[in-house]
Structure formats: C-alpha cells, structure tokens
Chains A and B, each alone.
Chain A
C-alpha cells in the first residue's frame, strides 16, 4: 500500500476506507453491505445497465449505480432508503414483465437471480406481460448452448464475458431498443462463428437465458441436482468444476464452475471441461485395464497385472535393441509432476532422451 493518507467513504453511516479506483459496490462488499446486482461480475468491466444496484449518493440529483460509481473521499452513500428499495422493486417488476411470467417457468432449468431478488427485495409487479420481440437463432443447431430470448434480461454479461474474458467475441448485443437481442454475426449458428463453446455465457447468465442444451433436454431443474466439486482431468491446469448429479438417475447432467475468485480457474472452463462429459456414462467406457491374452483378444486385468506386463515389454525391448529403441510420449492430460516422472523414468530407468509430451508441439 502507498503511504498516502487513507481515504474514507461513508456507506449507511459506516466510515470505510478505500483505494483509488474502487467502486462503491467493492467497498460495500468488503464491509458486508449487500447491494443487489444483476449485470455485474467481478471479472468484467461494469455496465451499469440493469439499474438494480442504484444507491443514493449525497449531492447527486439521481441515484447512481454502485457497480460503476467510483468511491471518492468524503462521499456519503445510502443503500437502504425508501427510494432505493422502491427502485429495486421497480427493476424486478420490469424484468418480470419482460420475461417468462411464472417462477416455475423461470426456474425450470437454471435458477434465476431475478426471482431470488424478488424474494429478498420484493417486486412492484406483477404488471401485464410485455409483448417482447427479441429474436432468437432458430437455425442454430449447435449441441451445447441454447439462447432463450424469453428468459433474457439483456444484462450483457454473456457478450462482455465472451469479449473481455475469452477474447472470442462470438456474440454481441444486436438490434436497438425493444428489439435488442444477443446474436452472432448474421445470426449464424455458434458453431459457424468464432465461438469456442466454452459455455462461459451459460455460466454468467443470471436468468438461464443462455442455457446448457443437454441439461435442458434432461429436464430437471438445477436446484434438484447435487453439485459435486472435482478437478477436471482433461489437462494439467487443475480447474475446479462442479458435476451436477441427478442422484435418482445416478447421472452427471452437466458441469458448472465454482464462483469466480474461489478457485484457480476463476469460474472459467473450456469446452472440454464444461461439455465433454458424456463419456462418463458411455456404455463402451473402459472401467478396468485390458491385457492381450494368448488368444490375441483383450481381457480385463488388475492394474498390477497390466503394469507388470508393460514393464516387462519395455525392459525386453531395451535389452534386445538398446535404450534408444524406446520413446516415451506423455499425455496432455498429465500434470507437470506426472510429466516430470515420465522423463525421469525415460532418462534414469531406461537411459534414453527419447521423451516428449503430446501438448508440447
């Protein structure tokens, strides 16, 4: 920290210190003062678009968005006034009128932050449903991500995530005013765009408008699934993922990411971690090692049997043809430590430098 004088801001009567550049929301969060948001994510530049986080700032004519409003020395902020609460109920009611009408429908798959805000902060509605005109992409036949405009609150978390975190920019806000929607260029399928199908848009979406297609087809709401945290085994990074398990069917339905800021992957996954999980329940999935028998066929074996057989084969080749007749290639699914052990085995045990890693080229 610099040795400059400490600066203070007053939120709901609490004098709180802050660093240059911090927003009211960040300072409030540190003091555990809850300010509701819909379009905010710690990984993204604030958009200030949903207006859920408006607070009163002394001296300002209108309420200001806590997510983007910078703290300044001596600023006095109020988050619990009648006006602030009235606005929160207004914003909830607006979005409820503009999206699917019932909680059951809203949460038929992913949970909806909008409806949980309605529980916590109330709603000025219900108001008559808005005849909304947001375009979808009916011809998008990608297997993993479904955009459902009737659930969308246009918070732009998905488009900002795609741009600012993934640097992919496959989707954008398109159209204007009432017709504003989320679209690829020319409304093509995601698989015909620059999309890498990382599914980050699904993860940041507060209302389930960007949804996991296989999970939609499975049909069970996320809140009825059990989240089991595990380490993704597709590569050595060590991303933490949550398997969403349907216990009744004993099945992994989908993968979600732990909250940003809590694990090494900061809430992000790649396409494999998020969507390549159908092997788990595949009927041809190997569950034990297989060893070739005298009959020429493959037969189930124990790990000891399989490793012994592999060791014997390697030793035999090295003895008959010399160490450099062997080469070792490790899998990109190995960790750094495992890769180290492979080269150790090649060089120290078999005395060859013929060792490589499949992701190294």
Chain B
C-alpha cells in the first residue's frame, strides 16, 4: 500500500516522465495523482528542468564559467542556431565554461584529484571500498559505540553548515517516533562546488555504506538519495553500487533505496526545501523549528547528510574517530576542496581541514595570473582579497573573517577581474535561484542585481546608496541561508575593494 501522501510525492516523477511542463500536463498529472492542477502547475514552474522542456542546451553562467568565457560559448551556440538557455550552475566548474544538453548523454569529466593515498579517508584516486566491513563492525559493536566514535571524530556537515553530525544522529535516536528516514543530500549546486559529484562517481560504495550505517544506527527502513538532476552518471554509479552490495549480501534486504532526481533548483540543497521537494511540492524552505531530526520527511524524524559527510563514515568506523580527527590541521578530519576559476589545475583536492589558501593554490597548480581575490566556499561565502591568502580554510577561521567555508567551492580570481562584475555574477545567481517565498530574498536579490547593473552603466556611486540597508535586511530577515548570505558577495567586495565601488577605503 502506498503511504499517506504518496500521490503527492508522485507529482515530480510524473512531471518528469511526461517530459516536463507543457500545456495540458498539469491536468494529466492531476488525473493520475489527485493533486489539483493549479498546484501541479505551481510545482512544475518552480523547477528549471521541468518548466522549459524545449529550452535546449543549458549554458552555465556560474562564477567559474563567467571567468572562462561563458558569454562567448553562448554567442557561438546562438550563431550556430543551437537552441540554448542560461543555467545558473551545472556543477562542472572544473571544465568551465560548461554546458549541458538534457536530452543528450552527460559527458564525462576528467578532473584533477589528489594522488592515491590510502591514508586519506575519501582518497578519490584510490579503489572504491567494497568490503562493507565498516557496516559489519557497526552491527557487531552496536549503535552506542558508533555514536561515541562519531562524537570523538568531530565530523561536521560538509554541505556547508558544519553542524556536528553526532548531535543530529543522537537527536533522532532519542525521538519516540520509530518511523524514521535517512536522506542523502546530493543536490550539489553551489557554484564552484563539484566534490560530491566526484565522490559519487568514484567512491559510490563509500556513500552507500555510510547511508547503510546511518539506517542501521537510526533503525530507518528507507533511504532517499536526492541527487541533482544533472548528475546522471553519479546516480547510475550509486545504483550500481547498491545492486552489487545487495548481490553480495552486504546490505540488509529490508532496507529500501529510493533514488530521487532533482529538477533544477539550487534551493533544494537547503535541507527543508529538499524535504518539500521529496514530498512533491515547490522547494520552499520550511520554518524552523521544528528541525528535520524531529519533523522531517513526512513529518517524521529524518537524518539529512551531505555526500562528503556520509562518505567519511567508513574511515571513521574502520580506523577510529580519533585517527580521523587527528587528520585535521585546525579542525577535525580532511576536507574536499574544489578549486576552480583562475587556477592551473582545477579539481578536487582532499587536504587536512584548515589547510591554508596558499597551500591549496599550490595543490591546484598555482594561480593563472596574479591572485586578486578568492571566494572560499561557494557563491554564498563572499570574497576575500589576495592579502588573506594565508587564512586557514576551516569553518572557524573563515567565520572569524566574516566569511564562511561553506561547501569549500573555492573560486580564484586574478587581476583581470572587475570586482563589481564579480559581485554581479553572484547576484544574478541568487536572483535566479531565490525560491521567492520571503520578501527580503525575493525582492532583495532583484534590487542588488538591478542596482549593480545600473552602477556599471556610469559608475555613479549614488546609485548604490540604498544597498547597505537592503543587504542588512536580507541578512537579518530572510527565512533561510540563501537570502541571508545572498548579499555577502556584494558587501565583501565593497569591504575589500571599496575603490571599485566609488567609496574610499
């Protein structure tokens, strides 16, 4: 029997099966799901991959692609008569400028990685761990042992928030409700970030084993893997891993694996928006509290972890929480740093948490040109100037700089970049990806983008006069992290490069 609410959950898969939203589609989905047609239309129009089924090639205009000539790429496609449209991020910053045809096979990406080293927990260049010894050990030692190791390790969320994992896990175990869910947040969409893509492609068994451990410890029967729709190869890799592990008898037969594709909405990486999307709704973040550990998917206790976070479970179990913790330089563990923009070897580098920016630049083959600024953790993190190159790249140090590590999607800018334009690129991203639910974010992101465009016309600083107040309100009053951080690229660019905004230092 379908669980309550299941027909609602069918809305997005139905829209996808029908090839996106065309006239009449909403009504067809209504007939099959019982969800009102206007509601279906509202859901369909929310998602970029559903609302424009005939848009053609999607050209990425994320920051790294802007730095590598996405405008030229789009102009070439236009000239060749190829139907195309802008996409705000495709998660392929290492091969910028990126483009993607949803109707064609996803082209493979060869990226730079840290060299094979068995002492790296994720070791993306190594062989995937297929033993499932960690899962067996957890079954043997019991949940309390695992939670102890997890706490010792100091593992914190690698999606951007940096929240300690063991607190979430314990909170769920303490719930009286026994219907619980485990959700993998693989909706990687932060411009500059492509680490989860590589983990899923290269170490799918690490991801599956981590999820199986979570389900074991939290006594969940269902695992949902919510992966961004552009990452089809990654989904296939994980599906294969589940099949292999099942065939070998490594996984509990009663554990159900649900693969769910995202449909082109950055905000669904926000965990409560992701839950809304899983439930077949517009991906608008929920009010918190209650938090998902208490009321998550279908209103039940739900663990949501990022791909990189969950993939570290195997190493923590097999080599111990203390071993894992000691890998870090300033904070526990290793971190996958995504290097793109003006660097010579863009790629994913696994390095001790708290590696300095200067060392990361070295790993990535040095700066292409002279370092001017960098964005340390995706679009939301804002910019730091070259003078901060010695900052240690961890959650704490960057927060002290008024910045954040976020997803560690590092974008490097050289001396050719105009910081007003750099701020504008991020503003375009946030305006396009705002869910539109709350007014500070929906209207604020429009004001920031339109004001910067007006300023670029004649560089009259008077045009910027209201931006301080708008930025303040966006940060203070938005519902979720998107709106709260959406003005940081602008405010940080003004702070460190006041001259380019017509202000004195």
Contacts and interface: CB of A to CB of B under 8 A. Distances in A.
B199 interface: no
B230 interface: no
B479 interface: yes
B473 A87 contact: yes
Given A87-B477, A186-B24, A193-B38, A177 B451 contact: no
Interface stretch (A89-97, A289-297, A309-317): A89-97
A176 B46 contact: yes
B252 interface: no
B26 interface: yes
A169 B39 contact: yes
Contact of A94 (B24, B41, B443, B450): B443
Contacts of B38: 169-172, 183-185, 193-194
Interface stretch (B126-134, B221-229, B415-423, B431-439): B431-439
Interface residues of A, number: 53
B447 A172 contact: no
B473 A91 contact: yes
A273 interface: no
B482 to A, nearest CB: 10
Nearest to A156: B437
Contacts of B432: 177-178
Among A90, A91, A93, A194, the one with the most B-chain Cβ atoms within 10 Å of its Cβ is: A90
Interface string B34-62: 00111111100111100100000000000
B376 to A, nearest CB: 21
A54 B446 CA distance: 22
B444 interface: yes
B479 A183 contact: no
Among B42, B444, B445, the one with the most A-chain Cβ atoms within 10 Å of its Cβ is: B42
B439 A153 contact: yes
Given A177-B435, A183-B38, A91 B477 contact: yes
A176 B41 contact: no
B483 to A, nearest CB: 10
A185 B27 contact: yes
B436 to A, nearest CB: 3
A90 B440 contact: yes
Contacts of A327: none
A185 B37 CA distance: 6
B274 to A, nearest CB: 15
Contact of B443 (A70, A97, A171): A97
B39 A172 contact: yes
Given A170-B38, A177-B431, A186-B41, A94 B439 contact: yes
Q: Chain A interface mostly helix, strand, loop or mixed? A: loop
B466 A154 contact: no
A46 B450 CA distance: 31
B282 interface: yes
Contacts of B469: 90, 93, 124
Contacts of A173: 42, 282, 436
Interface residues of B, number: 50
Contacts of B454: 128
Contacts of B40: 185
Contacts of A232: none
A68 interface: yes
A127 to B, nearest CB: 5
A62 interface: yes
A153 to B, nearest CB: 7
Contact of A194 (B36, B46, B287, B442): B36
Contact of B442 (A90, A154, A183): A154
B470 interface: yes
B26 A180 contact: no
A48 interface: yes
Interface in B215-244: none
Contacts of B436: 154, 173, 175-180
A342 interface: no
B472 interface: yes
Contacts of A178: 431-432, 434, 436, 442, 445-446
Interface in B44-93: 45-48, 51
Nearest to A172: B42
B454 to A, nearest CB: 8
Interface string A118-143: 00000011011011100000000000
B249 interface: no
B476 interface: yes
A130 B450 contact: yes
A87 B41 contact: no
A175 B51 CA distance: 8
A184 B26 CA distance: 10
A306 interface: no
B440 A177 contact: no
Among A51, A170, A185, the one with the most B-chain Cβ atoms within 10 Å of its Cβ is: A185
Nearest to B477: A51
Contacts of B289: 70
Given A94-B440, A177-B445, A127 B36 contact: no
Contacts of A128: 447, 450-451, 454, 466
Given A94-B473, A174-B42, A48 B434 contact: no
Nearest to A167: B36
B439 A49 contact: yes
B282 A130 contact: no
Contacts of B26: 185-186
A110 interface: no
Contacts of A94: 439-440, 443-444, 447, 470, 473
B439 A174 contact: no
Interface in A174-231: 174-180, 183-186, 193-194
A114 B46 CA distance: 27
Nearest to A135: B45
A132 B436 CA distance: 13
Nearest to B282: A173
A205 to B, nearest CB: 15
Interface in B273-298: 282, 287, 289
A133 to B, nearest CB: 9
25 contacts: A49-B438, A51-B439, A51-B440, A90-B469, A90-B473, A94-B470, A95-B439, A95-B443, A97-B443, A127-B447, A128-B447, A131-B450, A154-B436, A154-B442, A169-B36, A170-B38, A172-B38, A172-B42, A177-B433, A177-B436, A177-B442, A178-B445, A178-B446, A185-B40, A185-B41
The 10 A-B pairs with the shortest beta carbon distances in the complex, nearest first, are A172-B42, A180-B436, A169-B36, A185-B37, A90-B473, A177-B434, A185-B41, A185-B26, A172-B38, A174-B45
Given A170-B36, A178-B431, A186-B37, 17 more contacts: A50-B439, A51-B477, A51-B478, A54-B477, A62-B476, A63-B476, A87-B473, A90-B470, A98-B439, A128-B466, A130-B450, A154-B442, A168-B36, A172-B39, A173-B282, A176-B282, A184-B38
